[in-house]
Amino acid sequence: MRVVEKFLDRLSVFSCFMFTVYFVLHEFNANYGLISSSLLLALLAKYLIIEVAIFFLWILIFRNYKRAILLTFITIFWYFFFGAIHDRIKANIAAGFFRSHTFLYLLIATFILAVILFIRRRQFIASCVKYLTVFSALLFLWEFGHLFVNIIMRNERKNNLVYPIPLTKSEMSINVKPDIFYIVLDSYAGFGTLSEDFGYHDPVFESFLKEKNFYVADKSISNYPLTPFSVASTLSMQYLDLSQDTLTSVSAKDMLRATIAVSYAIVPPLLAANQYKIYNYSIFDFKQFPALNKNYFGSIAKRLIDEQTIEGRFKKYLLWKFSAPATKKWRSSYIHEFINSNFNGLVTAANLSDTSARFVYCHVMLPHEPYFFKANGDLWSDSSKYDKRHPKKRFIEQTTYTNRRLIEIINVIMKSRTKPYVIILQGDHGFRDFESINERQKIFQNLSAFYFSDKDYRLLYNSISNVNTFRVIFNKYLNTRYPLLADSAVYLRDTAFNFEHAGIIR
C-alpha cells in the first residue's frame, strides 16, 4: 500500500500535465484526420508552457507543491473548458448578464478564491491530489487508447464529403483549349434579388456585361449557403455527403471537413491532367496547388481547439475592443490579403505571355461582410471590425464598389486576347443578412455570369446552379460527357445568420 502511495505521490506532480495532454489528445481524436500532428504538438507545447508558468506562480504564492498542483489543476480546467461552459450557458439562458463573459470571469475568480480559502486543511489537499492523479492518469490512458483505435481503423476516412471522379484526358489540341478565369465573388447576390429586395440596379455594370456578351443566368442559385461547402461542391462537381447533424447545426468541425474537401476537389487536378497551368489566387489551398497568397480558412484547425480556451475566446470576442490600432491593422491586412492580392494575381496571370492553357481561380471577399467600402472606394470610418448595422445599405455600397473593380479587371483580361477563353463570375452564395425566416431561400440566389469567347451558350440555362458550372465547361471544351445534376439548394443551419441568431428558428 505504501508503494502505491509513494508512486501516486511522485506521479501527482504530473497529474495536471497529464490532464493537458488528455485535453489536446481528446480534441485530436474527436477531429481525427482533420488536425495535423505538427499542429497537435505545437498546441501541446504552448499549453504545457502556460501550465508550467501557472504551477510556479502558485508555488511562489503558497510554497507548497500539493496546493500548487491542486490550484494548477483547477486553473487549467477553467482555462480549457471556458468555451464549452460558456456555450452551455448561452444555450440555456435566453439573454442578460449571465450570458456575458464578465459573469463567467467573475464566476471563475470567485471559485478559485473559494478553493484557496478552503484548502487550508492538509489532509483534504492530499486526498484531492491523489484523486486528481488517478483521474488524470485514467483520462490520459483512455485517449491514447482512442488514438490507437483511430489509427488502426483509419477513421480519417469518415471525413470524406465527396466521392472520387476519374480524371478525364481530352485529345483536343492545347491550342484550342481555352484559358479559364474563375472569379468567385463572396456573397454576391443575383440581380433579381438585388432588384426585388434591395430596390437596386447598377445600370453601368449590367450594361457592361451585356455589351461584352456575357450570359447572365437570371435564376441561378448556389447549392449551399456557406463558402467552404459551396466551393467544395462546385469544384468537386457534386453534392456533398453530409450528415443530418451537419444540416441541423453546422459546427467548426463541419467547416473544417468542407475546407479539406475543397483541397481534394477534382477540378484543379483534372485540368492539370489536361496540360493546364493552375494559378490559385483564392482563399483556399488545393492539395497540389496551395493558395498563392493566403488561405482564409487555414486557421480553422487551430481555432477548433484554441477557441475552446479562455485565451482563445478572449482574443476572438474581446481583444479587438481594447485596441483600435490593432483593428485598423487587421482591416488593412484583410483588404490586402483577401481582396487586393487576389485581384492583382488574377490580372498578372491573365497578362502572362506563355501559350499554355491556364486555369486561374480568383476568390475575393467582396461584397461579403465586413462592409469596408463605400461605392466610390472610400472606407467607412467604423468598418474596422464586423459591423452588421444597416447591412443592406452597406452591402449595396460594397456591391457597387465590387462592380467597378470587376469592370476594370474584365477589360484587362479581354484586352488583346487571341486564343479561346472563358470568364466565370460567380457568387458562392447570396446575401445572408435577411431578418425573416420567410426570406431564407433568398440566401442561395447568386450571380452567375459566363463569357465564352465563341459566344456559343447553348449548354447554359437560366436556372443553372454552381454544382453544374464545370460539368458544362468540361462538356463544352474538353468533350467530356458529365451528366448535369438536379439543381437544388441545401440549407445548412448556422446561428451566425441574422434570422437564426435572432432565435426565429429553433
Give 328-385 pLDDT, tens digit per residue. 888 899 999 999 999 999 999 999 988 889 999 999 999 999 999 999 999 988 765 5
Query: What pLDDT is attached to residue 317?
Result: 75
Question: Phi and psi for 121 in degrees, rounded to 5?
Answer: -80, 115
Choice among 149-158, 205-214, 333-342, 420-429 with the minimum mean pLDDT: 149-158
CA neighbor of 237 nearest in space, from 470, 462, 461 = 470
The 8-class DSSP code of residue 420 comes to -
448-475 tens-digit pLDDT:
999 999 999 999 999 999 999 999 999 9
Amino acid identity for residue 350 in this structure: A
Query: What pLDDT is attached to residue 121?
Result: 58
Mean pLDDT of 294-318: 86
Radius of gyration in angstroms for the set of CA atoms belonging to the chain, rounded to a whole number: 27
Neighbours of 427 (CB within 10 A): 27
Residues 107/78, Cβ–Cβ less than 8 Å:
no
Q: How far is residue 212's CA from residue 415's CA, in Å, rounded to a whole number?
A: 12
**Mean model confidence pLDDT for the chain:** 88
DSSP class per residue in 231-276 = HHHHHHTS-----HHHHHS--HHHHHHHHHHHHT-SHHHHHHHTT-
Residues 493/248, Cβ–Cβ less than 8 Å:
yes
Q: Pull the grid cell for residue 343.
A: 485581384
Q: How far is residue 386's CA from residue 248's CA, in Å, rounded to a whole number?
A: 25
Neighbours of 136 (CB within 10 A): 22
Which pTM does this prediction carry?
0.89
| Measured CA angle at 34 (ends 29, 36), to 5 deg | 85
Asked whether the predicted pLDDT for residue 135 surpasses 90, the reply is no
Q: How far is residue 229's CA from residue 325's CA, in Å, rounded to a whole number?
A: 34
To which residue does cell 490532464 refer?
A: 19
Q: How far is CA 55 from CA 13, 115, 382, in A?
A: 10, 16, 42
Q: Pull the grid cell for residue 452.
A: 465564352
Query: What pLDDT is attached to residue 505?
Result: 41
Q: How far is residue 436's CA from residue 390's CA, in Å, rounded to a whole number?
A: 15
Which residues, other chains included, contact 89 with Cβ-Cβ below 8 Å and sequence gap of 6+?
98, 99, 104
Query: What pLDDT is attached to residue 363?
Result: 98
CA dihedral 127, 128, 130, 132 (to 10 degrees): 160
Asked whether the predicted pLDDT for residue 123 surpasses 70, the reply is no
Residues 419/180, Cβ–Cβ less than 8 Å:
no
pLDDT: which is higher, 465 or 123: 465
Asked whether the predicted pLDDT for residue 34 surpasses 80, the reply is yes
Choice among 395-399, 428-432, 500-504 with the minimum mean pLDDT: 500-504
Asked whether the predicted pLDDT for residue 133 surpasses 50, the reply is yes
Q: Pull the grid cell for residue 398.
A: 460594397
Domain ranges of the chain: 2-159, 179-501
Query: What pLDDT is attached to residue 301?
Result: 87
Neighbours of 110 (CB within 10 A): 10
Query: What pLDDT is attached to residue 175?
Result: 64
Asked whether the predicted pLDDT for residue 221 surpasses 70, the reply is yes
Q: Pull the grid cell for residue 236.
A: 468537386
Neighbours of 358 (CB within 10 A): 20
Choice among 303-307, 478-482, 498-502 with the minimum mean pLDDT: 498-502
Alpha helices in 93-158 (DSSP H): 101-118, 122-153
Mean pLDDT of 261-284: 96
Q: Pull the grid cell for residue 285.
A: 489551398
Rounded-to-5 percentages of helix, strand, coil across the chain:
55, 10, 35
CA neighbor of 313 nearest in space, from 321, 326, 303 = 303
Q: Pull the grid cell for residue 460.
A: 447554359
Q: Where are the beta strands (DSSP E) in 347-393?
A: 358-364
Q: Predicted confidence band at 15 (pLDDT cuts at 50, 70, 90)?
A: confident
Question: Phi and psi for 302 in degrees, rounded to 5?
Answer: -65, -45
Asked whether the predicted pLDDT for residue 503 surpasses 50, the reply is no
Q: How far is CA 206 from CA 186, 399, 426, 427, in A?
A: 18, 12, 14, 16
Provide, rounded to the nearest whole percent, the portion of the chain with pLDDT above 70. 91
Q: Where are the beta strands (DSSP E) in 440-494?
A: 448-452
Sign of the alpha-carbon dihedral angle for 400, 232, 252, 502: positive
| Measured CA angle at 55 (ends 53, 60), to 5 deg | 95
CATH class of 179-501: alpha beta
